Amino acid sequence: MHVDGWKDKEVLVIGGAGMIGSTVASMAVQEGASVTVLDAMLPLYGGNMFNLEEIRDAITFVREDIRNEAALREIVKGKDVVFNLAAQVSYVRSNKDPLLDLDINCRGIINVLEACKESAPAAKILFSSSRFVYGAIEHNPVDEKHPFNCLSVYGIHKLTGEKYHKFYHDAYGLDTVSLRIANPYGPRQQMKHSEWGIVNWFIRLAMDSKPLTVYGTGSQKRDYVFVEDIARAFLAAASSPKTKGEVYNVGAGVGTAFMEMAHAIASMIPGTVVQQIEWPADRYFVETGDYISDIRKVQKDVAGWSPEVPFLEGVRRTVEYYNRHRKHYWIPQ
Amino acid sequence: MHVDGWKDKEVLVIGGAGMIGSTVASMAVQEGASVTVLDAMLPLYGGNMFNLEEIRDAITFVREDIRNEAALREIVKGKDVVFNLAAQVSYVRSNKDPLLDLDINCRGIINVLEACKESAPAAKILFSSSRFVYGAIEHNPVDEKHPFNCLSVYGIHKLTGEKYHKFYHDAYGLDTVSLRIANPYGPRQQMKHSEWGIVNWFIRLAMDSKPLTVYGTGSQKRDYVFVEDIARAFLAAASSPKTKGEVYNVGAGVGTAFMEMAHAIASMIPGTVVQQIEWPADRYFVETGDYISDIRKVQKDVAGWSPEVPFLEGVRRTVEYYNRHRKHYWIPQ
């Protein structure tokens, strides 16, 4: 079912201590929903209890792993909306350890869907997919029918996850939708390492007075999308009856050159140096060509949603957030 | 590397005691290759030692499961060609037990590719994919760019398996190719149950003097492809340098109505009754619409390959095979 108003709705945010999950959870709380956050708090990933600081008293928090199928069946009972956001999120690691990625991003996702099928068959289920399903880009902007030229195990398994959601919709009538997220950034992302989320990582480097390194000319374009715009898309998609069984790109819908991104950050953190070096050979799998989301489908089906936070404003808010809360994310070296 | 001549080539057929695998193994032996057959001999599936009867003294047989990664690393060492054919092959079961399908058809496939990457990086690797990746058919004949409207977990995971093969090609230079097989039939298929392979199952029913039941008018078309044509396609694809990193449909390239298939079998087994009944509601996932392979791509890239055995001739040879060897496949009730 789609959601007509969030007041007293039972909402489960799986992976809810991460950047996107905690932002979704905060918005759902603000809308008056009854929110449960589930997170495995795995050390490598983005789960951080500080992300939930402001809503800690308003939510139920459950530390659990989506690889535990029995626990999921209990937790999803009675839920009206399930945000299915937990994941192994490092494409670098997915290639080094494909079986780990399989275990979380395929087996875990099947577990969530099986649990919903058994214990919450009427719930709206929203899956966080990724632009990585497209891999090597053939044309821009990229619409949802673009070929799947996956360049990472992570991208392959996100595509597999989408297909699971579509299958459980087709076969069992679950009300699923997948959102293919472009390049997310914003407050509450982990800042421990650089395996994903280059915008946030550059913000950390600049705040630590380290140079920002750009490969080549830095002309490759990315679609950087602010976390609050993503979270609003998830909530709005839950409220739209048209999204049942569908898949949508979610991005800013505009391309920003990598170099421009670096200079935007540098402009807000005085003293930041941007330096250029040659492309290292082993960076091949990061470079997919320009990527710009075609977001017309989500704008058509999901009433009222459009990206609202321009890149400079998003960077400003992100820098401000970490200036205030840095100690909860990293210890400057 | 592709294969220039099979003489003394080290060939590994994974899933080699099944219908397609044993036919591939027999052809490779005939071509002078040194053949190792690996099969887990799982009770539900098609592994049958009698399938290897004629080549038993010419091959090395290893009973092993692709879920055992450590064993695979030893076995692939020194191999020139790896036929990666082991699978959970029941789409019915894949939907009932998606985690089993995941374990064999995703984890097992990753294990094979990881083993090749470590221990046989120059081997040609050929993967058996399926028309099930296409699911609901939008137009006929179906070319390789048709959308992936998977209607089963089996179909989803075959697509995932193809993407793994492409990824290990792109990322690590493995010489992989995937063949999307239409509706296979022929000698050496398991005859224990009807979870897949309707042509063979109908042959068993007719040989047991039971009626052949056709749902509705039986006008839906399928692309029935004879196992020897499939096996020749695997060997020919191994010998073609153009197949590296590619995916191909393999089928007869012609559609045969379901009713016509039933009558073809009945015409060869005197006394067989063909009866029509209404479509049962739960058969939804079997019905994908007509399916006919567009085989122009494989005919273009794989020199000398075309389907050679017309449907009636294939049925004739299959009936003849089971007339001779029935006791090794089922006990008439």
**Amino acid identity, position B190:** Q
Note the ipTM here: 0.94
Q: Which residue has the tokens 């890149």?
A: A311
Measured CA to CA, the distance from residue A266 to residue A262 in angstroms comes to: 6
Distance from CA of A295 to the nearest CA of B (A): 20
**Nearest residue on chain A to B144, judged by CA atoms?**
A147
A242-261 pLDDT, tens digit per residue, is: 999 999 999 999 999 999 99
Measured CA to CA, the distance from residue A34 to residue B131 in angstroms comes to: 45
Which are the contacts of B214, defined by CB distance < 8 A and separation ≥ 6? B258, B259, B262, B274, B275, B276, B277
Is B102 close to A99, i.e. CB distance below 8 A? no
Model pLDDT, residue A289: 84
Residue A150 has φ and ψ, to the nearest 5°, of -50, 135
Handedness of CA B33, B38, B43, B44 (dihedral sign): negative
Which are the contacts of B210, defined by CB distance < 8 A and separation ≥ 6? none
A188-213 pLDDT, tens digit per residue, is: 999 999 999 999 999 999 999 999 99
Query: Which residues on B lie below 8 Å from A151 (Cβ)?
Result: 167, 170-171
Closest CA to B124 of B69, B167, B178: B178
Model pLDDT, residue A4: 74
- Which residues does residue B12 pair with via DSSP β-bridges, in sequence order? B36, B82
Both tokens assigned to B318: 């299959």
Distance from CA of B269 to the nearest CA of A (A): 37
Handedness of CA B48, B51, B57, B63 (dihedral sign): negative
Distance from CA of A209 to the nearest CA of B (A): 35
Using an 8 Å Cβ cutoff, are B288 and B135 in contact?
yes
Model pLDDT, residue A158: 98
Q: Is B226 helix (H, G, I), strand (E, B) or coil?
A: strand
Model pLDDT, residue A280: 78
Closest CA to A36 of A18, A6, A50, A56: A56
Mean local confidence (pLDDT), A53-81: 97
Using an 8 Å Cβ cutoff, are B139 and B113 in contact?
no
Query: Which residues on A lie below 8 Å from B106 (Cβ)?
Result: 102, 106, 160
Both tokens assigned to B150: 């998977």
**Nearest residue on chain A to B162, judged by CA atoms?**
A156
Instruction: Say how many residues make up chain A.
Output: 333
- Which residues does residue A38 pair with via DSSP β-bridges, in sequence order? A14, A62
Model pLDDT, residue A184: 98
DSSP code for A103: I
A158-179 pLDDT, tens digit per residue, is: 999 999 999 999 999 999 999 9
Query: Which residues on A lie below 8 Å from B102 (Cβ)?
Result: 102, 106-107, 110
Q: Directed axis angle between helix A109-119 and helix A153-172, to 10°?
A: 20
Closest CA to B161 of A159, A212, A321, A11: A159
Model pLDDT, residue B312: 97
Write down the mean pLDDT value for chain A: 95
Q: Which residues of B touch A (CB under 8 A)?
A: 95, 98-99, 102, 106-107, 110, 114, 145, 147-148, 150-153, 156-157, 159-160, 163-164, 166-167, 170-171, 285
Kindly provide the b/e burial profile for residues A157-167, where b requires at least 16 CB atoms within 10 angstroms of the residue's own CB: bbbbbbbbbbb
Query: Which residues on B lie below 8 Å from A286 (Cβ)?
Result: none
Both tokens assigned to A152: 């990472």
Q: Which residues of A touch B (CB under 8 A)?
A: 95, 98-99, 102, 106-107, 110, 114, 145, 147-148, 150-153, 156-157, 159-160, 163-164, 166-167, 170-171, 285
Using an 8 Å Cβ cutoff, are A24 and A51 in contact?
no
Query: Which residues on A lie below 8 Å from B148 (Cβ)?
Result: 148, 163
Q: Check pLDDT > 80 for residue A154.
A: yes
Q: Check pLDDT > 90 for residue A283.
A: no
Q: Check pLDDT > 90 for residue A61.
A: yes
Model pLDDT, residue A2: 64
pTM metric for this prediction:
0.95
Handedness of CA B96, A94, A131, A52 (dihedral sign): positive
Measured CA to CA, the distance from residue B180 to residue A128 in angstroms comes to: 29
Measured CA to CA, the distance from residue A26 to residue A52 in angstroms comes to: 8
Q: Check pLDDT > 50 for residue A100.
A: yes
**Nearest residue on chain B to A136, judged by CA atoms?**
B170
Model pLDDT, residue A325: 98
Distance from CA of B249 to the nearest CA of A (A): 17
Helix ranges (H only) for B195-257 are: 198-207, 227-238
Question: What's chain B's Rg over C-alpha atoms?
Answer: 19
What's the Cα-to-Cα distance from B131 to each of A134, B33, B224, rounded to whole Å?
22, 29, 11
Using an 8 Å Cβ cutoff, are B179 and B234 in contact?
yes
Is B159 close to A157, i.e. CB distance below 8 A? no
Query: Which residues on B lie below 8 Å from A285 (Cβ)?
Result: 171
Mean local confidence (pLDDT), A76-96: 97
Can you give the pLDDT of all 333 residues of chain B as single tens digits? Answer: 567 799 999 999 999 999 999 999 999 999 999 999 999 999 999 999 999 999 999 999 999 999 999 999 999 999 999 999 999 999 999 999 999 999 999 999 999 999 999 999 999 999 999 999 999 999 999 999 999 999 999 999 999 999 999 999 999 999 999 999 999 999 999 999 999 999 999 999 999 999 999 988 999 999 999 999 999 999 999 999 999 999 999 999 999 999 999 999 999 999 999 999 988 776 554 566 899 999 999 999 998 999 999 999 999 999 999 999 999 999 976
In angstroms, how far is the first alpha carbon of chain A from the final one?
49
Measured CA to CA, the distance from residue A292 to residue A143 in angstroms comes to: 9
A42-51 pLDDT, tens digit per residue, is: 999 999 999 9
Model pLDDT, residue A285: 47
Is A148 close to B166, i.e. CB distance below 8 A? no
Using pLDDT thresholds of 50, 70 and 90, give the confidence band for residue A284: low
- Cβ-nearest to B110 among A102, A163, A170: A102
- Cβ-nearest to B171 among A95, A167, A171: A95
